[in-house]
Structure 1
Amino acid sequence: MERVDNLNKQIKEDKVIIKKCKHPSTVSVLLNNPKRLNSLDVHMFKKLNDVVSDFNHKIIIIRGVGDKAFSCGGDVKSLHKYITQKDDESLMQYFDSEFKMDYAYFLQNQIPNCALITIYNGIAIGGSITMSIYSKIRICSENTLISLPECKNGLLVPSIQYFSNLRDNLGVYLMMTGDFIKGEDCVKYGLADYFVEHSKLVDLQNELEMQENLESCHKICKKYAQNIDVNQIRNKEYIKDLFQLTDFNTFWQNINQKASQNQDLKLQKFAQHCLKQMNLSSKISIRVNYSMILSSFDSSISFNQFMLLQARSAINLTKLSTDCQEGLKKAVIDRNYIPQWSHETVESVSQQEIDQILNDETQIQSFTRQMIQSFDDVNNLFIQKQNYQNKLIDSII
């Protein structure tokens, strides 16, 4: 009885619950912060980082507690507090822990015989996507809702490199509008690999926890998954047209022109919807994120260099603009609040303001040095992990 009580206490207190599986190299991770829809705070960032950094953890299966959410992303309620109270130490720690964890989970999926398996068992928003989007297996159900609402919060969109490369400009559309993608559409958009009925997720996970290699995990997923026609995407041709990457002024003129024409009323209606969503957003966030999308195609910038650029831009948006305070106030304090954005139109945002957020290090030099060191530490750790896993394979052979 005492052991049961202790286990129940652990489940109530631990925001990240780690379960050992049949094989020591496979672990199951449960995000356990249901009161905040499994939002990720600094403690959770660090614990998740510890899980993926363990040399013995080859297969990591992750989902959120309950049926409502995988995770609604980073703990933006705490983030709002750090920003408004000018608590720079906590703010820097938040971003350092988040980006360090994100980079670690990316590297986990680069090791040939290692993988993250993500079960999107509900809402998956913003920062939770950064950790999971590079998973070698991503599972969605009819309850899955994926969104990138950062522009509406005055923040930087996560995983810009991944979303920029989605076919037919689908990722650019998601980043700019924050629209929700639901259920099997997640597979069509390239955000999930398998669609499994929600009622079968528990059985699926139980079988996955019995596996010790990626190939057998794929076989299990195929057994449960439904076939999805990835070419049947609603408004695909409109998205491809409206969100083609050019300079921002050309992009903005195109979407406004399509919203005002009347030859194709369906296109007009969809363009008007997209414009409405972007006009509800922080104008400086729209402009900064669009610039970052263009930068993501620069082949001279490595993945970790781009991660550093994202980290710098993310924290500069919180320090050089008041929009994040406005957007987060609506998101976590008062849902009826109307944000008072610093700019009324996207055209009024100057290139100088954008460049300052992307490049300025006046207030964050120590943070930049810390992030460089953090990325180097994570990179070196995963070189060691890959070498360790390779030795295990050699010993078996």
Structure 2
Amino acid sequence: MATPDRLVVALEELGPTFIKLGQLLSTRPDILPRQYITALARLQDDAPPVATDDVRTILEQELGASPDVVFSTFVDTPLASASIGQAHAATLHDGTSVVVKVRRPGVVAQVQEDLEILQNLAHQASRNWAALDDYNVEAVVSTFAATLRAELDYLAEGRNAERFARNFSHATGIHIPKIYWSTTTSRVLTMERIYGQRIDDKQVTNLPLADRDRLATTAATAAAKMIFEDGFFHADPHPGNLFVEATGRIGLIDFGMAGEVDEQLRKQLGKLLLAFSRNDPDRISRALLGLSVNRTATDRGRLRQDVARFMQQYQGRNLGEIRIAPLITEILTILRTHHIQLPSGIAMLTKMVIMTEGMGVGLNPGFNLGEVLNPTPGGWL
């Protein structure tokens, strides 16, 4: 196998922490060459089911009674099983359909040990390998560790869900499930069950084009709102986390991985989008340097030349006519060439934007995220 493929196999064998690290790195062309990005994008967070007796033991320990007592019904066969936890269908005593997420036994200790190893490796590498000076590897691993630790705590996920629910309380096209706190702990999460089809199911992708375009626009507009209005975004909007309900609403699930965009970063991103919308290499270069946390001097003239050469392919086209994912990938590649660091937290934001556009194109090949993000009067900026 080629080296990138061997890396994928190694990460899968190492388990959940390293699978998630690989998924994060698959969105960082500013750190890794294209062949590694392509290989890492294949990583899937699937895992064999937890034994039924273990699930029931955890529920009894956390909720104080057997799931057959706590819930009106509880289905032992999981709806889904991933590296951190698995989901089960259940019914509350008032008849409400819910999903109960149960954290895998032993996963916290395993993840904590893995993160300690990663942080030690990052520290040693940064001290002893000069080639890493431009990549702030310790910050990347630190941000990843904080995100993954938060994902282990279902109380934090429940609070994230309620924050999203408040932010989208007036959005008719987005449905955030309710959290049931009386049967929620750090190891167990009970939420309203979302009924519908995955957004990439054939029943959805075979809908009339107008319906598919509406769904893509709804999801993309929600993403833009999270970034530019709320400063709080869902960091894992893959198709398995978006369901199209019978009413046409999009139900959003899985809130363990969320990111924040502070006001200064929102302003810098706005300047960058505005520069792209005007196809202005000087402004783009300045905006990229404004985002940078680089510790070394940058040849601004050469950066401007590389950006101008790159932007020639978009000459005469506005942002609404440009695919965002390839644009981000190429810009991050230029940043890697110039050893320019971006804030460590921008990796999740990049991942979210790329996933959102991929979802939109899957629904409508003519969809363009740039049309939603385009900084026009009355828009997001």
TM-score by length of structure 2 reads 0.25
TM-score norm. by structure 1 comes to 0.25
